[in-house]
Structure 1
Amino acid sequence: MLGESFAPIVIPAPVWERQDMLQVLRNRDVASLLRFVQQHTGASQQRLATVLEMSQGRVNELINRRRRVTSLGSFERLADGLRMPDNARIALGLAPIECNRVMLTDLAEITTTYPSQADAAEEIRALAKAAATVDVMAVRGLGLLGLNDSLLRELIPPEARLRVLLLDPDSDAAAYRASEIGESSESFAAGIRLSIARLRELASAGRTIELYTYDQVPVWRIIKLDSIFFVSAFTVQQEAHSCPTHRIEPNARGVLHHAFARTLEQAAVTSRRIM
């Protein structure tokens, strides 16, 4: 029947465990492999061609040793098309399927995504109250630290180390960002200077604060509370606090947390410390 040409070829599991089959795989003897498959399944060359996603003529050439398989990709296609179990893949010199199949939950670093910073505010405040270290990378920072009712200003423990990176109000990047969101460069820069002044007040009151200014067009708004990040992005027309906010936690098998930690550290290294 026509439908049988498109059905998977089912090779009995004991066939893959035979020593002569394993030796064929170790030798990467594709001609003998395909003959084994035909012998134990009755598959025609056309059916082999279908499951291996190649022409019937190519299969014929492989079986009759007029063509060789040399590329890793071609061996992967053979293994996938014939649905080789892991012991057969290993004998063929390929990684087992289980090594390639990583569950998303094993890599999850974004544990929660909030529609905006306001939706994450309760959780951010709860973590801030107990944080030993707080890092903030923002543009103006008014909504985070610059005003009395800012998200973090009154909650960070007095003994916590606070490091803040704000956009340099005198930089070309500040003027560019102001134009992106439709503000005058003067009012935009004034907001940054207000946050800087309010942070100096905290330092004068005995708080441990490191304050830096950077001069690159802003991309990320980062709040780091001990080891947990809350990250959002600045878009062409939208401020980061109104964009989705992602909670990112450490994961030994992931890369996002590492990337944002490195972004923060690199920004501090290349910025100008003013306090």
Structure 2
Amino acid sequence: MWTDGGAAIALAPDFWTTSQTIDALAKRDIPQFFRLVQRETGVTQTRLGVAVGLSQAQVSEVMSGSRRVSSVDVLARIAEGLAMPVAARSALFMGSRVPASGVAVADHDAGSEVTAVYAARGLVSRPSWNDVVLHANRHLWLYGMAELGYALDDDVPDLVERAAQRGCDIRVLLLDPEYSGAADVDAGEGSPPGTLATRTRAALARYQQMKDAAGPAMQIRVFSAPPTVSVVRGDDHMIVTPYLRFFVGGNSPTMELRRATGKMFDRYVKHVQRTWDDAKEWTP
């Protein structure tokens, strides 16, 4: 989980539907949102920090306004640590003041490969992401710019090691932190120069630790080309996020796929395979 061992804080369902909560989330007014959580639950700053992966000092700085929360990773930790329902995630990641699921579920039995569509990547719960890894027996692929969500999740190293023990083909394929176009991505997302490269290096360091534990079943490569999509594959289950210019990844539409031979799933497999073939092995 994202909570460094702390259990998620349980909030009453009605809390998430109040105008105060929705407005705070839609405005990304995290200081006000934390105050609302404290008023509702009586938790201390320390307990709140444990749930969302921040120190007590960081929570205090956020609530005083001296620390601004804009990172999608931190917002995702807040959503996960407070067991935020989908409608509230929609407000946080999409700025919608009208509670809406932001999720469409397709009928896979009717022949569609698409089993779910999310208006924003941030609406996909952490358990949904990890479910792809948990049930992989043949192929476990993580392809994207940094895939930092998996890299920082404390549950993932064990899941990866167990996948390796099952004989899984584990591939991590990330953007080369030295790629010259990374600066354009930072500029498009409104991030300080070097943000993407820093995130990618941090992710690669974590994945290298996993590789050391998993052994030869796990490989890490980096590619140097304009990033177009994130693909997370576990056998015949896939989560796909196209990269949209001028949007951070957490705001990009996302879909879940279940394989049907010769259709969309196989096209993404081919895309990742070709990129993998052209990529170079990562050496720390």
TM-score range, shorter chain: 0.5 to 0.7
- Deviates further, 220-229 or 106-115: 106-115
Structure 2 letter corresponding to 1:108: S
* DSSP-derived class of the 1:171 partner: coil
Deviations 1:36-71 (A, max 9, x none): xxxxxxxxxxxxxxxxxxxxxxxxxxxxxxxxxxxx
Native 8 Å contact 1:232 1:241 kept in 2: no
Q: If you compute each CA radius of gyration, which structure gives the higher value, 1 or 2?
A: 1
Deviations 1:99-125 (A, max 9, x none): xxxxx9765211211233343333332
Native 8 Å contact 2:132 2:238 kept in 1: no
Equivalent in the alignment of 1:268: 276
State, as a whole percentage, how many aligned pairs show the same letter: 18
Structure 2 letter corresponding to 1:270: D
* DSSP-derived class of the 1:265 partner: helix
Q: Check if 1:178 corresponds to 2:186.
A: yes
CA distance in 2: counterparts of 1:134 and 1:105, whole angstroms: 24
CA distance in 1: counterparts of 2:231 and 2:248, whole angstroms: 13
Deviations 1:163-209 (A, max 9, x none): 01111111112122122112233232121111111111112224432
Deviations 1:74-116 (A, max 9, x none): xxxxxxxxxxxxxxxxxxxxxxxxxxxxxx9765211211233
Normalised by the size of structure 1, how large is the TM-score? Answer: 0.55
CA distance in 2: counterparts of 1:220 and 1:241, whole angstroms: 13
Structure 1 letter corresponding to 2:141: D
CA distance in 1: counterparts of 2:195 and 2:242, whole angstroms: 22
Matches within 5 A, 1:5-20: none
Equivalent in the alignment of 1:141: 147
Instruction: Go from structure 1 to structure 2 and tell me whether the alpha carbon gap of 1:183 and 1:119 turns closer, same or farther (over 3 Å shift).
Output: closer
| Matched pairs, number | 169
Structure 1 letter corresponding to 2:140: V
Native 8 Å contact 1:117 1:244 kept in 2: yes
Question: Which of 236, 242, 246 is the equivalent residue of 2:245?
Answer: 236
How far 1:235 moved relative to its partner?
0.9
CA distance in 1: counterparts of 2:172 and 2:147, whole angstroms: 9
Unpaired runs of 5+ residues, structure 1, are 1-103
Q: Please give the root-mean-square deviation of Cα atoms over the aligned residues, in Å.
A: 2.4
Unpaired runs of 5+ residues, structure 2, are 1-107
Instruction: Go from structure 1 to structure 2 and tell me whether the alpha carbon gap of 1:114 and 1:250 turns closer, same or farther (over 3 Å shift).
Output: same
Native 8 Å contact 2:144 2:173 kept in 1: yes
How far 1:149 moved relative to its partner?
4.0
CA distance in 1: counterparts of 2:117 and 2:200, whole angstroms: 28
Matches within 5 A, 1:146-165: 147-149=152-154, 152-156=156-160, 157=162, 158-159=164-165, 160-165=168-173
Structure 1 letter corresponding to 2:200: I
CA distance in 1: counterparts of 2:194 and 2:248, whole angstroms: 18
Normalised by the size of structure 2, how large is the TM-score? Answer: 0.54
